[in-house]
Structure 1
Amino acid sequence: MLIFRLFSVLILMFLNGCASSPEKSSAQEEVVQPVKIDEPKEKTQQSEVKTSIDPDVMYMLMAAELAGQRGQYAIALEGYMEAAKRVNDPRFAERAAKIAMYMKDGNKTDEAVSLWLKQDPKDPMARKIAALSALRVGNKQAAVDHLDILLKTDPAGFEKTALELVNVLQRDGKTNFFYGVLDALAVKNPDQAVVYFMQSLLAMEMKDNALAEKKVQQALSVQPGWDKALIFQAQIAVISGDLNKAKILLRNASVKHPEDDKFKKLLAQVLIKAAEYEAAGEVYQGIVLSNPKDAESQISLALVHLQLDREEKAEDIFKRLLDQPEWQNQASFYLGKIEEKRGQTEQALAWFDRVTEGPLVFESAITAVSLLVKDKEFAEADSRLGLLAGQFPKQRLRIILMRAGLYGQQEQYEKAFKLLTDELAGQSDQRDLLYARALMAERINKLDVLEADLKKILVKYPDDAEALNALGYSLLANAGRYVEAEKYLLHALKLQPDEAVILDSFGWLQFKLGKLEQARDYLERAYAKQQESEIAAHLAEVLWGLGRKEDARKIFNDAIKKAPEDEYLLEFQKRVLSGEE
């Protein structure tokens, strides 16, 4: 379960219409959808009302319909308004109201809705449009009156109605005003928990967590044990960073509602967020024991086992789920991840290839490619990437970047550079493409392209620490640009003071400037965070320069055992160590 999405609801047709612009064809179709002009079926409350249409009105409606189809909305509106005044048929007033809202004509909307409600006072759509119109123009009393009727008429549906209104009002910047309207509505209806609950949601939207907590507590005072309010109260605590409070609330709710697993599931997620994996596993284990058919909780329990390095227990659960068609793909994916962790590439690939449906298909395929690259099965990896490009057009960028990386690993830098350049022709300011091409440009000594691409990124994203670091580090190749390099690296260091690669770059700058002790400090901090080959080579060289040759050899020997073919280590060995041997 994701943390509560505040207003993830569909808007009713009339709300969609008013939010659109007249240029959108889909909205036009909604406005001009023909009204069947004949005598409507009799309603109980209208059984005595005559609805026959005289020729003048019939002509007026036909003209209005034709105008609507041609996009002449002002003419269509006048036609339907006049017809609504002459014929006691709420459909014509409804049509006029929708066109007026589409045109964002508040006065005409109010006039049409007023007529609509007069002809059909119980129509909830008319009442919602009236409430929305009042909220939009800031007519508090009218908004309260309309919402009060909606609440009394359909208290169970009021929450949905209010959410639909909020979805539109958010775009108009009327959230705070709506909160005030609900305040007045609560005075008239102090026993309606839903009003306080809606205020709690709005308070969260206004980023006032304390007010949200106060209002959800009011809702629970009126309606104790309301599951939705209890869950939202816990979610407020999570968003506020008070995980302990969230855990207490959910544990209490679980005790009060032992048969309702949603409290336990949310509790388990909060425990995971608090990194209390053992406790989360116990909660999921309890859910599974009481409901063995809850496959979702079985998956969650297996993932907790993986987090705790209990691959065998996770594997047992995933293999049991292979018998359930709706969970086969997900189980196969994680079985592949288990084999990947074990270093069993062939078995991992077999599992990933079994994922053929669902949201994990692409992730399985791309993970399989990564495994092939790791095993230097470059031809197979490239072939698979080619197939993926056709199957997943929305993932084109990720596939292009992976393919460029694949060529880079084979030292086919020109090929990677051309691939990225061709792709940039269609999206010249795409950040990841620019950054990837800058890296390839360095490899083929196109330093002007490297600098231009990184600077282009920084124009759009001046605080991009990765680009700042790459540009600053690349400038260290030119002794005349150390001052410029320092500017970029200091900026990157300020943004990410604990990032290993940035510490490495800044330490290497100190070495270039002849400040060996300062260089050693930064490089040792970098190496402590990330024992990467290039950092090891830099640190070894600084230690060598400080006369600490044994320490330098130890750093080098440890690193070369892990990466015997690393170019930075081999270059250091050839340039520095070979002269001592």
Structure 2
Amino acid sequence: MSIFRLFPVIPLVFLYGCATSPEQAPTPKASVKPVELVKPLGKNQQKEDKTSLDPDVLFMLMTAEIAGQRGQYDVALEGYLEAAKRVHDPRFAERAAMIAMYIKDSNKTIEAVSLWLKQDPNNLSARKIAALSALRAEDKQQVVEQLSVLLKRDPAGFEKTLFELASALQKEGNVSFIYDVMEALSLKHPDQAAVYFIQSLLAVDMKNKGLAERKIEQALRLQPDWDKALILQAQMAVLSEDFKRAEALLRNATLKYPDNQKFKKMLAQVLIKSAKYEDAGEVYEKLITIDAKDFESQFSLGLVHLQLDRDGKAEDIFKQLLEQAEWRNQSSFYLGKIEEKHDNTENALTWFDKVTEGPFEFEAAVTAISSLAKDKQFGRAEQRLKVLPGKFPKQKPRIVLIQAELYSHQKQYEKAYNYLTEVLKIYPDQGELLYSRALMADRMGKPDVMEIDLKKILAKFPDNVEALNALGYSLADKTKRYMEAETYLLHALRLKPDEAVILDSYGWLKYKMGNLQAALDYLQRAYDKQPENEIAAHLAEVLWVLGKKDKARKLFEKAIDDAPDDPYLNDFKNKFLQLDSSH
């Protein structure tokens, strides 16, 4: 039996990634925006400077301007910094600070911004840069001092300033230090909800769930109706997979703030996570009633209809969305998926080919190839595959996987194995390629290679659930190394306690170990969650061995009617039913 049952495809509503909003440009980095480095002084400024500056300073400035235009930023920095020291004009110190930040010279940044603040102490940009420089230098006292001044002089913009600074530094890995700074700031200014909010975000980053929850509660005590904080609180519940709590929090928020559509949209997403598709659909329908131009909710409702097999309703929504340019590509993609579902390959290809830009373009191209492969049109699939490397050069590993899968569809396992082996010489640590080769090794009867590849994945990614499950199942099914298999499968269960294929693997291990009742419990849970053929075959076998032959036979007959050629079900049939003397 195959060890590589795919994990269930995430419901369609979560497959589209960023499809809950149209293709957008990346959000600008939250940091202090540098001034244009080489912008020359205006004519009026030049006249003023010529009358007020001595020739040496003018020469320095001209040299700095020319150096900046030529990209010689270190020379430009020295010129502006020297001019700033000689002339009481904060513009020169500002330029020096911006250039120093741009070339990441921390010492010069601190020197320039000190001059800038000395000449213009009320300048908020200078204060922000001073705070950022102190953060980078891990000077806690100076950061708190600068932030305190910013809070006093710009209370309305304080929240935004905190987010900008925390975002800029978080990317550099100084999470624990930023948290400590926020703690010191909270002691000095205990009435600032934004500080606790930032601490909660940082605690999430530090994987300290309890601390994150305590801090967001502190923020909400100060600002009970803050939508960002309420949403973060619900998001933390989702991250913990406590969907019941997330739903309760969001339902309470929607009742308390009925005009806030953010809560309703997030509630719909949580309901989807909980597989409450009907309830999610009702939320989206109400949102659309409120705003007929809420195309995001319309699109999401279409995906919910797809999940509930209401293909006609989904199709109607996606066709209407074709009129909106920003939703055209993703709507075309799912119209193609509907046609593919109904085995209308040519119609599906027509829709997939209409997806010409954005994040769905590659997915459409790949799904078109997959559709042709399922239809056994391998020649056409290969033709389409040939154009992908030139069109999507960044997707090379994924394209390799598609090629290997095409070989596999044609049962050319050795060809796929050799192809992956060659590519792995270029990408030796690419997890998906290793996993794919392990699959081929399993099919070719090379358990040693399979085990080496899976262990290589786990050496780099110890929480890779697919590799844990595959290795654990393989050891349980093909060897008697049951204790080792249990180590991998228990690890996988801790990470994904409700995943059907892991429950099945662990149930099968228990069967192999002779613990039939535990095996039955796990396999029944797996089958209830995902009634796929291999799980059905495992469950039927355990039922049969337990003496529950009628139940086993009924389960088998129900499954074989839908998949008469399934190898797992036929294996069960050959192993038990044909040998049963009572039949």
Shift of 1:412: 1.0
Shift of 1:426: 0.7
Contact 1:507 1:522 in 2 (8 A): yes
Check 1:333–1:574 CA distance in 2 against 1; reply closer, same or farther (3 A cut): same
Check 1:500–1:98 CA distance in 2 against 1; reply closer, same or farther (3 A cut): closer
Q: Does 1:211 align with 2:220?
A: no
Post-superposition CA distance 1:364-400 (Å, at most 9, x none): 3333333333333333333333333332233332232
Contact 2:231 2:263 in 1 (8 A): no
Tell me how far apart the structure 2 counterparts of residues 339 and 361 of structure 1 sit (CA, whole Å).
17
Q: What secondary structure is seen at the aligned counterpart in 1 of 2:52?
A: coil
Q: Which moved more, 1:559-568 or 1:546-555?
A: 546-555
Post-superposition CA distance 1:312-348 (Å, at most 9, x none): 3333332222333333333323333334444544444
Structure 2 equivalent of residue 248 of structure 1: 252
Q: Does 1:53 align with 2:50?
A: no
Contact 1:465 1:491 in 2 (8 A): no
Please give the TM-score of this superposition, normalised by the length of structure 1.
0.74
Structure 2 equivalent of residue 487 of structure 1: 484
Shift of 1:136: 5.1
Q: Does 1:200 align with 2:203?
A: no
Tell me how far apart the structure 1 counterparts of residues 468 and 263 of structure 2 sit (CA, whole Å).
46
Contact 1:243 1:274 in 2 (8 A): no
1:549-568 equivalences in 2 (<5 Å)? 558-568=558-568
Contact 1:507 1:518 in 2 (8 A): no
Q: For 1:10, which of 30, 33, 36 is the aligned residue?
A: 30
Tell me how far apart the structure 1 counterparts of residues 188 and 510 of structure 2 sit (CA, whole Å).
67
Post-superposition CA distance 1:89-134 (Å, at most 9, x none): 3343234434655787766544432322333344332232233345
Contact 1:524 1:539 in 2 (8 A): yes
Q: What secondary structure is seen at the aligned counterpart in 2 of 1:382?
A: helix
Post-superposition CA distance 1:403-459 (Å, at most 9, x none): 222221221112211221121111112222122212212333444433332333343
Tell me how far apart the structure 1 counterparts of residues 222 and 518 of structure 2 sit (CA, whole Å).
60
Shift of 1:487: 1.7
Q: Does 1:360 align with 2:357?
A: no
Say which structure, 1 or 2, has more relative contact order (CA 8 Å, 6+ apart).
Answer: 2
Structure 2 equivalent of residue 233 of structure 1: 230
Q: What secondary structure is seen at the aligned counterpart in 2 of 1:414?
A: helix
1:488-503 equivalences in 2 (<5 Å)? 488-493=485-490, 495-496=492-493
Check 1:145–1:412 CA distance in 2 against 1; reply closer, same or farther (3 A cut): closer
Structure 2 equivalent of residue 116 of structure 1: 116
Structure 1 equivalent of residue 380 of structure 2: 380
Structure 1 equivalent of residue 10 of structure 2: none
Contact 1:504 1:535 in 2 (8 A): yes
Contact 1:234 1:250 in 2 (8 A): no
Q: Which moved more, 1:176-185 or 1:400-409?
A: 176-185
Check 1:168–1:558 CA distance in 2 against 1; reply closer, same or farther (3 A cut): closer
Contact 2:200 2:216 in 1 (8 A): yes
* Aligned partner letter, 1:54: P
Structure 2 equivalent of residue 452 of structure 1: 452
Query: Is there any run of 5+ residues in structure 2 with no aligned partner, and where?
Result: 1-19, 22-26, 205-211, 238-244
Tell me how far apart the structure 1 counterparts of residues 104 and 350 of structure 2 sit (CA, whole Å).
58
| Structure with greater Cα Rg | 1
Q: What secondary structure is seen at the aligned counterpart in 1 of 2:45?
A: coil
Structure 1 equivalent of residue 395 of structure 2: 395
* Aligned partner letter, 1:292: A
* Aligned partner letter, 1:51: S
Tell me how far apart the structure 1 counterparts of residues 326 and 71 of structure 2 sit (CA, whole Å).
49
Shift of 1:175: 2.1
1:252-263 equivalences in 2 (<5 Å)? 252-254=256-258, 257=259, 261-262=261-262
Structure 1 equivalent of residue 8 of structure 2: none
Contact 2:57 2:83 in 1 (8 A): no
Q: What secondary structure is seen at the aligned counterpart in 2 of 1:41?
A: helix
Tell me how far apart the structure 2 counterparts of residues 527 and 282 of structure 1 sit (CA, whole Å).
29
Contact 2:81 2:96 in 1 (8 A): yes
Check 1:175–1:49 CA distance in 2 against 1; reply closer, same or farther (3 A cut): farther
Shift of 1:301: 3.1
Check 1:42–1:122 CA distance in 2 against 1; reply closer, same or farther (3 A cut): farther
Check 1:308–1:82 CA distance in 2 against 1; reply closer, same or farther (3 A cut): same
Contact 1:486 1:509 in 2 (8 A): no
Contact 2:489 2:505 in 1 (8 A): no
Check 1:42–1:510 CA distance in 2 against 1; reply closer, same or farther (3 A cut): closer
Check 1:426–1:78 CA distance in 2 against 1; reply closer, same or farther (3 A cut): same
1:134-283 equivalences in 2 (<5 Å)? 134-135=134-135, 143=143, 146-147=146-147, 149-151=149-151, 153-170=153-170, 171=172, 172-173=174-175, 174-180=177-183, 182-183=185-186, 186=189, 195-207=192-204, 208-219=212-223, 229-240=226-237, 241-254=245-258, 257=259, 261-262=261-262, 264-269=264-269, 271-273=271-273, 277-283=277-283
Query: Over aligned residue pairs, what C-alpha RMSD do you find?
Result: 4.5
Q: What secondary structure is seen at the aligned counterpart in 2 of 1:206?
A: helix
Q: What secondary structure is seen at the aligned counterpart in 2 of 1:82?
A: helix
Structure 2 equivalent of residue 25 of structure 1: none
Contact 1:516 1:546 in 2 (8 A): no
Check 1:428–1:113 CA distance in 2 against 1; reply closer, same or farther (3 A cut): closer
Q: Which moved more, 1:533-542 or 1:459-468?
A: 533-542
Contact 2:251 2:267 in 1 (8 A): yes
Tell me how far apart the structure 2 counterparts of residues 508 and 177 of structure 1 sit (CA, whole Å).
48
Q: Does 1:423 align with 2:423?
A: yes
Contact 1:243 1:270 in 2 (8 A): yes
Contact 1:166 1:175 in 2 (8 A): yes
* Aligned partner letter, 1:367: T
Tell me how far apart the structure 2 counterparts of residues 52 and 157 of structure 1 sit (CA, whole Å).
36
* Aligned partner letter, 1:235: L
Check 1:125–1:383 CA distance in 2 against 1; reply closer, same or farther (3 A cut): same
Structure 2 equivalent of residue 20 of structure 1: none
Check 1:335–1:511 CA distance in 2 against 1; reply closer, same or farther (3 A cut): closer
Tell me how far apart the structure 2 counterparts of residues 106 and 282 of structure 1 sit (CA, whole Å).
54
Check 1:213–1:413 CA distance in 2 against 1; reply closer, same or farther (3 A cut): same
Contact 1:506 1:522 in 2 (8 A): no
Tell me how far apart the structure 2 counterparts of residues 307 and 185 of structure 1 sit (CA, whole Å).
51
Query: Is there any run of 5+ residues in structure 1 with no aligned partner, and where?
Result: 18-29
Please give the TM-score of this superposition, normalised by the length of structure 2.
0.74
